[in-house]
Structures are given as C-alpha cells and as structure tokens.
Structure 1
Amino acid sequence: MPDDFLIARNPEEGSALPYLVRIPLGPRGVVLKTKDTWPGATKLYCHRADGWPDDPDIVEALPVRSVSKRGAAIDLVLERVRRGRSQFVVTRARGREMIFWQSRQTSKQARPNIALPTARAHGEELDIVVDSGEKYAWKFSHQQASIDKRRLPVGDYAVFDDEVLIAVIERKSVADLTSSLMNGKLNYALAGMASEFRAAVVVEAPYSAVFKQEHARGASVAEAVAEAQIRFPSVPIVFCDNRQLAQEWSYRWLGAALHEHRQRAATDAVVDTLPSGPAASPKQIREWAVASGLDVPVKGRIPKAVREAWDARNG
C-alpha cells in the first residue's frame, strides 16, 4: 500500500511557496515546494525542495489509493471523495524545468467545450515519414506537416525523434481491414507494431461499415476486430468517419505521441533527481509487511525480499 500524501509548512522563511508536499513515489518519495495545499481552478506552480524536514510541521496526512508515473505526469489518487484526484506535470519552458500541480477542475477549465481552431500538433510542424510502398498516401495538405517518403519497418505513417521510431500508424480501408483480419495478415502486423512506443490502426470508415461488407459476415469481422484488440491492447484500432477525419486524427495522434515521448524522458530525468524524503525505519517496514501479508520476523534483520518489496511498492 502507498504511504500517506504529506503536506507540511515550508520552514524556509520568506518563501513564496509556503508549503511542502511529499509524494509517495519510489523508495523515499518526492518532495516539492508549492503555493497552496491543493490546486483549484488554476494549476499550482511547484519547485524542487532541498529535502523533507527532520521535524516537519504537518498540515495534512492524506491516505493514498494509488500513485503512479505516467509519461509526463505523476498521477495521485487519494482516499477521499472530494478533491481526491490530481496530477503533477513536468515540462520545460524557456529552457528551464517547470512542475505544475493540477486537479480535475483545472483540466476542465483548460479545455472548455468549444471548437478548437486549426493549429500545429502540440505547437510544432510535424515531420511525418510515409512508407514508400503506400499507395494513394495521405498528403496532410490541411495540416502543418512536412512529408518524407522512405521504407518503414512497420506501418504506413510514422514520426521519429532523431533516428528513433516513436509512433506508427497502419492505414486501412474497411475492405482492407476485413481482408487482413480474415487472412491473419493484420495479426502479424500488430505483433510488429506492438513493440513500438506507440502504434495504432486507423480505418477510413465508421464502425458501422464493418456490418455492411459484401463478402464477409459483419459479426465475423466484428469478432475479429475485438479479438485483435484483446490480443494487442497497446495498438488501438480507431474507426474514423472518412478519409479526411482519419488523416486529421492521425496527425493529432502522431503529434501527441511525439510530445509524450519527449515529456516522458524529461519526467524520468526529473523524478530521478528530485530530493527524497527520509528513509523508512525498520518498524515502518515491519508494519507495512504485516499489513501486506508478508512473512517478517518480529525482531532482527528484515529479510532482503521484504525490503525489495518495500522499495518496489510504488514503482
């Protein structure tokens, strides 16, 4: 079980960030300075702390349901109904590291229910590589992207970070999807795509078209789609209404995948270097082991397996 999420007063006099938070992530936790005890309609800026105080002035100790690192974010879920979910997002701006703490309310304010204007995918013009064997390829003429044609190891469209393949898309018409599912070729393609950081199959038709095939039973095709998704859950099969929407979805998805990969690398580097909280005492480890049903002696040295389980409990 995760430790409590701790909020304490910052002992640093005159700081514009009067609170410390300790996120129970990793063996010793992650410690940050912040402006308030919880984000509201606006996100809170956070900064690295020098460490957790020896005698902290605790404001709140909140039981944690789960805590995990996901891409550019650290997701935190508390054991309470209101104000129970939040995330810490690590990014960079003007060449320096920035960490923001936001809640579900913050995200709702940031994404109002309005039509989004045409814009670059995550603020940059994408360099999209199209497989040289792709017939009647998407041109992305309505998106801000440059196109390069060369042979891809998997898929039809891809983005790279330097020379590393980050995300790939296999394009299908509904007839091609049906044929490749029925003869088993798509399963081989999905197996290759599943090893990439991100991969997807994009169909230039709505899901309803699956049931309108002339030479295949709709139920059989639907079953094959479902089986492929269960077998390869990391490679979604996405149905778009038409070619134009399939192209637009793919453009946004490729941009998001590239952004996620870069942010994940930045987050890993930040979390690895953030100041840690105090090391756990043998008493704490014993209590946790007993509560978790692990075999641990009342006295003496704590077994290595128990310590490894303690260190790995939050990833």
Structure 2
Amino acid sequence: MPEDFLIAKNPEEGSTLPYLLRLPLGAEGVVLKARETWPRTGKVYCHRAVGWPADPEIVETVPVRSCVRRGAAIDLVLDRGRENRSQFVLTRIKGGREAVFWQTARTAKQARPAGAIPTARAQGIADLEIVVDSHERYAWSFKDQQVVTRRAALAAGDYAVMVDGGVVASVERKSLQDLVSTLTSGKMRYLAAHLSELPRAAIVVEERYSKVFSLEFVRPAVVADAIGEHHARFPDVPIVFCETRPLAQEWTYRFLAAALTEAGGEAAGSERTAAIASGAAPAAAEIRAWAQDNGYRLGDRGRIPAEIRAAFDRRHD
C-alpha cells in the first residue's frame, strides 16, 4: 500500500522555500523543499532537501493512490476528489544544478499556451527583409513567417527594417534574465536612449510579465519598479512581454511589417504635399486623405461628395 503524501513546514530559517514535501518513493522517500503546497496558478519550483526532520510540523497529510517514477518525472496521484494529479519534473538548469518543477496538467498548459502561429503574410507586405544585427547570437530564423533575413551591423536593436539604407524600426530581444540584468545594472537607460533615436522601436521579452514576480535572486519589486520607470522615461520604446520565443518572433514580425508600411505611408504623404505645392491637380487619394485627417466621414472607396471637394479647395483660404 502506498504511504501518505506529507507536507510540513521547512525548519530552515530564512529559506525562500517554506515547505517540505515527502513523496512515498523508495525506502526513505523523496524529500523536497517547495515554494507552495500545490501548483495552483503556475509551476512550483522545488529543491532537494537533506532529509525529513525528526519532529516535523505537519501542514497536510494526504493518502496516495500511486507514486511512480518514469524517467525524469515522478507521477503522483492523491486519493482525493480535487487537486489529485500532479507531476514532478527533474531537470538541470544553468551550471548543471538540479532543479525540480512541480506541475499539473493545467499549469503545464499555461506554460505552453495553445494556439498556432498564423502563417498569413503581414498586411501590405509581400516579402519582408529583416536585418539581423551581426552581433546577435542564436538569432531568430522567422521560419513561421514570410521573411528574408540578412546580417549587418545595427547601431541599436537586434532586428530592424530599413528604407533607402536608413533604419525605420528596430526591436531589441531579451530573455527575462537578460532584461533583469540590463535593468538592474543601469545599462537599460543607454540602450533605450539609442533606440529612442529611431522612428520606431521596442524591446521584446521572451517571457510572461508574471514571471518577474517569481524571481529568486533579485527582489521582484525592484525589477517591477525599473520596468515602470523605463516606460515613464522612454514611452516610445515599450517593453513587450511575449510569453514564448515563437510568440516573440511573431510579434516582432508584425511590428516591423507595420512600421515599414507606416513609413511608406509617410513618404507618400510627403509626395502628396509636394504635388499640392507645385500646383498640380489633386488626385482623389489626396482629397480622401485630407478629408479623413480633418474629421470628415469618408470611406476608402467610392465617390467623393462635392462639398468635401469644395472644402478641400478652400483649405488654404
């Protein structure tokens, strides 16, 4: 018969993992330190404990239906109606250190959000060329998007689109760890200052914003304050959290394509202004653009009413 699953308070003073878990596996059981008593809203980080205390302060005792190790995972099924199935995943993180993540089917799904990346081209863009900074290691491939990439040195950002040799938009890519390091070291101000000199720019993070509040070696409030300060200081260079690497690529693709389209529209607007100044007869597109910019209700197609044409002719009176 399987033994009980035990949860006790961690007797270590000052530990960031306040609970001990005892899994009924093997002669001595598997003892772990844990941040929570159950993975309800996300994966729970665990760490190996030296052993089970002689006089533990028990928090919860739950009968076990099964506890089986399968490769790098331990499947635990508790004998209760709710919150009964979970899994402990044993893995290695930086430096080869062992880490254990306690998850349920629900929290695992949250970590891998459903939904396929769209394959439709960005609106108005046939073939988008993205310039990848020559110093960018492990660059994105944009394999799910219709993109051609080329390497070149960028003064700011990691991915950019250009018109006539000039950058019109750029994106700086960050992992959460890199973002935290850049914010807390003071480097972000210099990086953002360079990006703000461009017509359009953004910083994309391959993680969820909620992960900021589960950081271990930096106070989450310090990082959250730094993010808020960045947005107040550089409102034209947003920090966008995109949850996963593929979603970060997709967002960057759509942003750069839209920026390139917008840059083309601005150039067309300059050409319209020059044509009007030269005395050339206004085209319908020029009148339509002026009317829409000045609050007239006019669609992108169809006949232009006579009163709008008359107002256009009187605009300089």
Q: TM-score, normalised by structure 2?
A: 0.49
Larger radius of gyration: 2
